[in-house]
Structure formats: structure tokens, C-alpha cells
Structure 1
Amino acid sequence: MENDERLPPFFGCEFQDVRERAIFRDRFIQLRRRAVERRLGSVSHKRCTLLYRYGAWLLWLIFFSLSKTLYRNETKEMHDRILSIAEAIKLDRIDEKMFAAVVVAEDHRFWMHKGVDHVGFLRATACCLKGRRQGGSTIEQQLVRVISGDYRLTLSRKIKEMALAVRVRDLLSKENLLRLYLEIAYLGNEAEGVRALTRRLGFGVNGISFEQAALVAACLKYPMAKNEAAYAATRRARRIKYIMTRLDVLVPEHQTMAA
């Protein structure tokens, strides 16, 4: 993007209008592409972008074909359930800071991929072959998992989940998919969805700070139990610090909150 220096800081604007949201998203995508380029070493930015784009299209094509053939019935059922849930809960506005925190915590290439992240998929596959587990699920995949209620650790479930995720992308915009996921995700005891959690914590879903947004995002991985042990709070505090580091807005107040 030209005139890159004139853009506001990465997460520095308050996202009051469409223009500011567009600037945020463009900057986010640009930084992720630069990160991919650095990992590939001497490959030029143009070649890096092409490699990422073609890899994403290839993986999308594979799972799209599966959704049209092997998982046709499951795809139709998932479409109907998502549309009915979206209509029932009314997808209201959620603060962009919360969007930012959830994206960097759960799926930092969310704005770039088409429901399945081929970079995360290849990394998770390589770790699995080495006998280690590593997450590579996109937000679309997590949404499919929450709605279907299928959490089995099997290859067949994972393939079906990825096939459904690429079709979910056709139903709603990226922003509305993220809103829907936050509205129904399990975030802790008596906290089904972001609104229930924020009421429990004493703040709303708009006009929040980055620290509050990071706390909500951390609960996706470490939900709040009713009477949780000290180690659970410690793990969540580490997760909040990790998210804040990725947001690049660490401030002294956060150190106090995470302590």
C-alpha cells in the first residue's frame, strides 16, 4: 500500500467509522504478509504473496470439493443452523478492539484465508507427524465445532470440519462470522457468549480497553470456572500477556491486571 507512513498506528485508532476499520484491516493484512515473507527468507514480497494466495486457493478447492460431494448433507444442515442462529441472536456491533484481540489470539490470518489456513494446516500436520499436537484451527473451524458440538480428536472429524468451514465463509461476511462466534462461544461458567462473560466481569462489549479485550480472548482457550484453582488464573494471565504482546500495546496497567 502506498503512503504506508501516513497510516495511523496498527491498533492506534478508535475505529469510529468505516474508513478507520478499512485502514486497520489493510494494515493487518500487510503486516501478516510481511511476516510470511520474513519466514521465507530471501523470497521477494511479490513471490511470497503469490505463494500464499495459490496455496490458500488450492486448499480451499480441495475442501470445497469435499463439501459438495462427501459432506453435502452435513453442509446443508450446517448452513441452515448458522443462518437460524444468526437470525435469532441478532448480530449487534462488537468493539473492534475485541475483534483484534480474538484474531491475534486465535487466528491471526483470519482476514486473509478462505475458511481454512493452509499455513497453519501444514504446520499442525508437521507437528502431528513428529508426535506433537499443535492447534491450526481457524475461527470458521471453531465456529463449526461449537455449532456441531463435535469435539472428537479424530482425523475424519477434522477433515469434515475443514470442509464445512470453507462453505461457512460463503454465508456471512468475515465480521459477522466473528460476531457470531463470539456470541455463542463457551467462555466459562454461566458465560455462553461474549455478552454473558462481559456482564459477569462488569463491562460491556463496546467502549472497552485492549486489556479487557485480551481477557475475553484469553477465556476462549482458558474458560472461567465457577471455583477455579490458582493455576488456572495463572495460565489465563500468561495468555493475556501473550495476546497483549501480539497486539503490541503492553502498558504498565496491564501488568497490574495480569498479576
Structure 2
Amino acid sequence: MARLSDPQPGKGTSYPEGKKQRPKKKRSLLKSLFLLLLLALLLAGAVLSVFVALYLRDISKDLPTATEMLAHKANVASVIYDREGEPVARLFTENRQPVSLRQISPWIIKATLAAEDSSFYQHGGIRLLSIARAFVENLTNRGVKQGGSTITQQLARNLFLTQDRTLERKAKEVILSVRMEQLFTKDRIMEMYLNTIYFGHGAWGVDTASRTYFGKPSAEVTLSEAAILAGLIAAPGRYSPLSNLENSKRRQKYVLDRLLTLGWISERERDEAYNAELVFKHVPNKVQEFNKAPYFVAHLLFNELLPRYGPDLVYSGGMEIHTTLDLKMQEAAEKAMEGLKSQGAIVGMDPETGEVLAMVGGHDFAVSKFNRATQAFRQPGSGFKPVVYAAAFEAGLLPTDHFLDARIAYEKKGPKMSVWAPDNYDGKFRGEVTLEYALVHSLNTVAVRLIDYVGAKNILSVARNLGITSPHVPADLSLALGSASITPLEMAVAFSAFANNGMTVTPLMIREVRSGNGDVLERRSPVATRGLSAETAVTVRSMLIDVVRAGTGT
């Protein structure tokens, strides 16, 4: 009978091969697969990290540096003032008047935070969960009430980026937001944001918006009004109270409800704010709408400001241009122009300083931009005769000297020979008269004889001394009848010499220009040169008084 013996120590029991070893191999295989997968993931992560790093480095090349970000200034409207400091016009591409955070109503700040980014003072510039949520919801086309962009991101986009909805733009936005949080305090970012964003109807920045919609500075805005303004940020066109009050009130309610949810106002405050009566005062923000002296301003722009400072500084630099204009006189000139049936021009000038006090170049600047005060070369007619008589007195003649008022004829030279025989306006002749009488009664024949006696070139020389720069002044006898083509501004300068004892003034329209920082860029003072002797100027002035009092003047 066979006996089974126990296995001896040290000797393994014999089993069919593979039955006990298979589980170990299986675990080993799974472990290897896990390690390989982990290695692959780590490798993929490393590759992705390198790719992201290279991508971020690549898109960061054209982003502003920290120095550029610190030096950045928002577009600020330049303002033209009259001689008393009253605004005449605002020049801008974006009508903006920056204010400090302490000049902004706390209700505006709270309402903006509630509507756009309630955790602004807690996050570091971006909210990853919000970005992810917005990304998912955009993929599913469900949209979001409150996007993934923080206030810092919105500011970065508005200051340095486009509005394109691309992954690259979003990545740049995130990079800039992180940088801005490192460079600026939260309050400074909030201040920049409120001064930068667009509120609709041409209003850039919260202070301009407050004045546009409510006719008051941002410091005086109430809770009810602040909810309206904060609601505009998401879509100014859709929520404008001036064009769609129903949408605006619905958005206002959303902002007020958010303030209540956050615990920043009570239910009573919310209800009172929603039911409060809103008084809107639409203040125009287009350049052409806010311009009390369009012909004067246009002349300054194209002849002084733009050639000297360039469009960027003029329209975006926040300059202060203090002019010589007198708004009251300007308004009077505008009304006087309204009474004319035909087109015309008016120039008001201080004869002692040359300061232009009023300028109107036509009936309606919106209809015709042509400035007849400075661009229209027209024949002055008998208005040129004082220049002729001034030249005669400079040559030694006296008002009491006699000249003949009788028919006179001159033979023209050329292929078509003819006779030029100037006549008086009434067709009558008075015989021998004094020069004073001839000017008072505007006798043409005497003026022609006077030029023939003194010399046309001498007349032209005196005209130049009196500030007439027009190239259309013929050096011939026809000057007696005012055949020269001269602008009203030149005539104002010439006649100023008679009132200013012979001193010819240079037209002055700008007194001072300051930069957006308040630095004085230039100051201008009156300039006058001797155009006539004081005796001649006083003589002609006295005769012109008689022209109005007893002659043909009006």
C-alpha cells in the first residue's frame, strides 16, 4: 500500500504549470499598463505645457509692456473755451472727461460691481470658474447673463485689444489682466474702468454718461440713476433709457435685485429706487452738436491746431484751448446773420489787439462748411476807398486838397481797344470837391484820379502794410472801385489800423493752449506793427465817422 509522504522542507510541491503563477503576471501587466499610461499622460502634459508656454510667449510679443501699460492714457476730449472760460466746443473721437474714484457716486460703484463683477475686490483679475462656465455655455449656445470676463478683463480688452471673439484674444485678455492686477491697485483699476467704458449716445466714461443722461456730474447720481447707468454697460444700445425705456427699466431691476442679493441694499431701498421718478436730460455728445461757433472752431482746427499738434493730441489729448472769442458777441453775430436773405460773413475784432471776438462764415455750418469770413475772396467795392485815401495822405495830400469830380475816360490797351469810363453811383458829377467830401460821398471819379496821381503801386504797398495779404489785388486804377478780391477777415484787419492809430494788428484767436496734464504748450500775445502814420490813421478815422454820420455809410 502506497504511503503519501509530506513534502520535505525546501522542496516545492509540484503543480501543473501556470495555475498559481497567472495572477502575478496579470497584476504585473496591469501595473505596467498603468505606468505606461501615467507616463504618456505626463509626457502629454509636458508637451502641452511646452506648447502652451510657447503659445503664450508668442502671443505676448505684441502685448504692451508694463511700462507702456503704466504710461497709457485714455482718449480725452479737448475743450475750446471763450475769453471768459465758457466752453465753446469739444473736440474728440471719444467724448470722455475722466474723474477720480472719489468724484464718482458710491452707488455707481456698487451698481457696477453688482452688474458686472461682484467679486472684483476678491479675485486676482480672472475667475477661472466663470471662464469655464462661459466657455461651456457658449458651446451649448445657451448664453449667459453675466459673462466670464471680470472688470479687469473688460478694461484690458477696452484699452489694449480688439472686440474679436477669438481664443487668442481671450488668452491675451487673461495675460493682460494678470499683469494689470500686479501693476495697479483695485481702486485704480475700478477708476480706469469707469472712465473708459462706453455708455451709449456718444458718452465715454461715467461722468460724461451721467451728464448725458441726467444732466449732472457722476458724484450726484442717485441709486435709481446708478442702476440705469450700470445696466447700460452690457449693451448700451439695447438698454438705453432714451430709446427703449422698457428695456432700461427691466435691466435696472436686474441690477437692483443683484444689489439686494449681495446684501448691499435693503428691500425698501430697492423698491424706492425702482419706483423713483427718472428725469432724463439728453446732452448731445457729437462734435457737431456741441459747437457754439462752428466757423471759428473749424478755422482754428485746420489752420492752427491740427497742423501744429496733430489729430491724436487734438482729438484725444485732453487739451485746453483758450481763445479770444466772446460768446455773447458771437451769438449776436449769429442772430444778425439769420436776418440776411443771402449768404454773408461777419468778423468782430478788437482793433487794438487783433483779437477775433466773433466769426460767422455763413447761414448754417451744417449746410455749408465754406467759411466766407476767411475763405471767400470778394470785391470790397467802395469799402476799399479808405485804403486809397490813406495812401494819398501818406504821400502828402490833405483832406482839404481839391480834386475834380467829372467824367473821366481811359483807353484800354489790347487787341480789343475800348474805353473805360468809371461813373459815380448816382450818375451825377459835382465838379471840384475836397478829398474829404469825395470820400464822405464815395465819389468814384475822384478815387480813380487819386490813384492815377499817387500811383497804383503805392496804393498796393499801403494795402500790404495794412494787413491785406490777398494775391488778388491788381495794381491798376480799378482799385478805386474795389476790384481787389479780399476776405472779410483781411478787411477787418485793415480797418483796425484806422482805429488803432495806424498800428496794423495780426489776427489773434488763441490766447493759451494747455496739455491734458495742465502744462502750458503755448501762450500768444497781441502783435502789432506800424502800418500808417498816426496822423493819417486819425485823419481817415475822422472822415469815416463823417461817412456814417452824413455820407453814404450805414
Partner of 2:217: 204
For the pair 1:129 / 2:117, whether they are aligned, the reply is no
For the pair 1:69 / 2:57, whether they are aligned, the reply is yes
Amino acid at match of 2:170: K
Structure 2 CA distance for aligned equivalents of residues 66 and 170 of structure 1: 22
Shift of 1:236: 2.0
C-alpha change, 1:204 and 1:69, in structure 2 (3 Å) is same
Partner of 1:119: 129
Normalising by structure 1, report the TM-score: 0.65
C-alpha change, 1:114 and 1:136, in structure 2 (3 Å) is same
Structure 2 CA distance for aligned equivalents of residues 95 and 68 of structure 1: 39
Partner of 1:238: 250
The number of residues matched between the two structures is: 194
Structure 2 CA distance for aligned equivalents of residues 113 and 199 of structure 1: 32
Alignment of 1:1-259 (within 5 A): 69-77=57-65, 80-81=68-69, 83-85=71-73, 89=98, 91-93=100-102, 94-134=104-144, 135-200=147-212, 201-223=214-236, 232-248=244-260, 249-257=269-277
Amino acid at match of 2:205: G
Structure 2 CA distance for aligned equivalents of residues 148 and 211 of structure 1: 32
Structure 1 CA distance for aligned equivalents of residues 54 and 220 of structure 2: 42
Structure 1 CA distance for aligned equivalents of residues 193 and 209 of structure 2: 14
C-alpha change, 1:116 and 1:91, in structure 2 (3 Å) is same
Percent identical among aligned pairs is: 28
Any conservation in 2 of the 1:111–1:174 contact (CA below 8 Å)?
A: yes
C-alpha change, 1:107 and 1:167, in structure 2 (3 Å) is same
Structure 2 CA distance for aligned equivalents of residues 87 and 188 of structure 1: 16
Structure 2 CA distance for aligned equivalents of residues 109 and 239 of structure 1: 20
Any conservation in 2 of the 1:185–1:220 contact (CA below 8 Å)?
A: yes
1:37-57 deviation per Cα after TM superposition (whole angstroms, max 9, x unaligned): xxxxxxxxxxxxxxxxxxxxx
Q: Secondary structure at the match of 1:250?
A: helix
Structure 2 CA distance for aligned equivalents of residues 155 and 254 of structure 1: 39
C-alpha change, 1:253 and 1:182, in structure 2 (3 Å) is closer
Amino acid at match of 1:126: V
> Which one has the largest radius of gyration?
2
Q: Normalized per residue, which structure has more helix?
A: 1
Amino acid at match of 1:209: T
Structure 2 CA distance for aligned equivalents of residues 212 and 189 of structure 1: 16
Any conservation in 1 of the 2:60–2:172 contact (CA below 8 Å)?
A: no
Any conservation in 2 of the 1:187–1:219 contact (CA below 8 Å)?
A: yes
Amino acid at match of 1:196: T
Partner of 2:27: none
Structure 2 CA distance for aligned equivalents of residues 176 and 67 of structure 1: 30
Q: Normalized per residue, which structure has more strand?
A: 2
Shift of 1:159: 1.4
Shift of 1:149: 4.7
Shift of 1:118: 1.6
Ranges in structure 2 where 5+ consecutive residues have no aligned partner: 1-52, 77-97, 261-268, 279-554
C-alpha change, 1:124 and 1:254, in structure 2 (3 Å) is same
How well do the aligned residues superpose, as a CA RMSD in angstroms?
3.1
1:2-40 deviation per Cα after TM superposition (whole angstroms, max 9, x unaligned): xxxxxxxxxxxxxxxxxxxxxxxxxxxxxxxxxxxxxxx
Normalising by structure 2, report the TM-score: 0.32
Shift of 1:256: 4.4
Shift of 1:186: 0.7
Any conservation in 1 of the 2:66–2:179 contact (CA below 8 Å)?
A: no
Name which structure has the greater RCO, CA cutoff 8 Å, separation 6+. Answer: 1
C-alpha change, 1:244 and 1:66, in structure 2 (3 Å) is farther
